[in-house]
Amino acid sequence: MLAVSDLVAGTYVFRLTVTNEQGGSAYDDINVFVKEPEPPIVDAGSDKRVMLPSDTVTISGTATDSDGSIASYRWVQTSGAACAMTHATSSSLNVSGLRSGSYRFRLTVSDNAGLTGYDDVSVDVTLPSVADGTPDQSVGLLPASVVTDVLSPHDSRHDNAEAILGELTSHDLENCHVRIFDGSGKCLYSGVWTSEKYSEIFSESGLYIYNIIKRGRRIDAGKICVMH
């Protein structure tokens, strides 16, 4: 029996020669093929799309190793705004606190030989779309099509109602008429804007359209995505 050690990748030929008492001999060869160890094959899953106000997503990855076993998983964020990640050392990652924009996450997997493989997955977070088909009859204008801002659950501006529209529009609302629509175009409020109206109208998460009107003319408009 022959024991061989310290082999590296390549092809080896070993010959066994046998000689009898009369001096006759014969031999046979055997080939040994040594391959480089294979890294894990990683699939981080299909790209995801999330629509606000939902701000969470679960990403499930998989990995296989043809000549060994999986030793560890590790998720990292490679691009996008700050967010919260849990279970980052398992095959499935939970992400929360997402905001509008694009995110990219990488799953890196190590095997029992210390080799690694990785794959990336994208998450696109979008604002709700709204059909701008509800005219403001008194001024003959449509609500704006651009989402102006997102108010997340921990946004301090939730406590300063009058400052929200004033900050977004850069207008003094004291002498303005404000109209608020929901995502379907239904008018929720039409009148002078007060802090009491904020808690009354924006009590639920969703997309809202605002029109700022002064002397019968719309001077500003936009959309706010509110998340509680």
**Which CATH number do you get for residue 173?**
2.60.40
Structure tokens at 10: 């390549």
Q: Based on the fold, state whether residues 122 and 159 are members of the same structural domain.
A: no
163 belongs to a structural domain: yes
For residues 196 and 162, state if they share a domain: yes
- Phi/psi at 126 (5° precision): -120, 160
Based on the fold, state whether residues 52 and 109 are members of the same structural domain. Answer: yes
* pLDDT score recorded for residue 184: 66
Asked if residue 146 has pLDDT above 90, the reply is no
Q: What is the CATH number of the domain that holds 45?
A: 2.60.40.10
For the segment 101-114, the average pLDDT, to the nearest whole number, is: 95
33 or 216, which is more confident? 33
Residue with tokens 């046979």: 28
Instruction: Check whether residue 169 and residue 220 sit in a common domain.
Output: yes
Please check whether residues 47 and 119 belong to one and the same domain: yes
pLDDT at site 19: 92
Q: Are residues 120 and 158 in the same domain?
A: no
Structure tokens, 157: 């501006």
Tell me how crowded residue 105 is: count the other CB atoms within 10 A of its CB.
26
First to last CA, the chain: 74
Task: Note whether residue 106 is domain-resident.
Answer: yes
Model confidence at 45, pLDDT cuts 50, 70, 90, reads very high
Nearest C-alpha neighbor of 178 from the set 206, 156, 200, 151: 200
User: Does 114 share its domain with 168?
Assistant: no
Averaged pLDDT for residues 156-179:
58
Across the beta sheet with 84-86, what order do the strands follow?
57-60, 92-96, 84-86
Q: Is residue 132 part of a domain?
A: no
Segment among 44-53, 131-140, 179-188 with least mean pLDDT: 131-140
DSSP conformation letters of 141-204: BPPPSSEEEEE-TT-GGGG-HHHHHHHHHT--GGG-EEEEE-TTS-EEEEE---HHHHHHHS-S
Which has the minimum average pLDDT: 21-25, 155-159, 170-174?
155-159
Highest mean pLDDT among 12-16, 91-95, 97-101, 197-201: 91-95
Among the candidates 92, 126, 160, a domain finishes at: 126
Cα-Cα-Cα-Cα torsion 102, 106, 107, 112, nearest 10 degrees, comes to 180
Non-local CB neighbours of 57 within 8 Å, separated by 6+ positions: 48, 50, 94, 95, 98, 123
Domain of 76, in residue numbers: 41-126
Residue 174, domain member (yes or no): yes
| pLDDT the model gives residue 31 | 92
pLDDT value, residue 213: 77
Does residue 16 belong to any structural domain of this protein? Answer: no
Q: Tell me the CA distances in angstroms from 216 to 63, 139, 178, 202, one per residue in order.
A: 63, 6, 11, 25
Does 131 have pLDDT greater than 90? no
Q: Are residues 46 and 121 in the same domain?
A: yes
> How many angstroms separate the CA atoms of 172 and 109, rounded?
56
Could you tell me which residue, 65 or 130, shows the higher pLDDT?
Answer: 65
In a domain, 29, yes or no: no
Is 201 a domain residue? yes
Asked whether the whole model's pTM tops 0.85, one would answer no
Report which of residues 211 and 39 the model is more confident about.
39
Please identify, among 126, 159, 185, the residue that sits at the C-terminal boundary of a domain.
126
Last residue of some domain: 126, 160, 192? Answer: 126
User: Domain for residue 14, yes or no?
Assistant: no
> Percentage of the chain with pLDDT > 70?
73
Average pLDDT on 24-41 reads 90
Are 91 and 164 in a shared domain? no
Query: Radius of gyration over alpha carbons of the chain, in Å?
Result: 32
Q: How confident is the model at residue 144 (pLDDT cuts 50, 70, 90)?
A: very low
pLDDT at position 24 over 50: yes
- Please state the domain count of the chain: 2
The answer to whether residues 69 and 115 belong to one domain is: yes
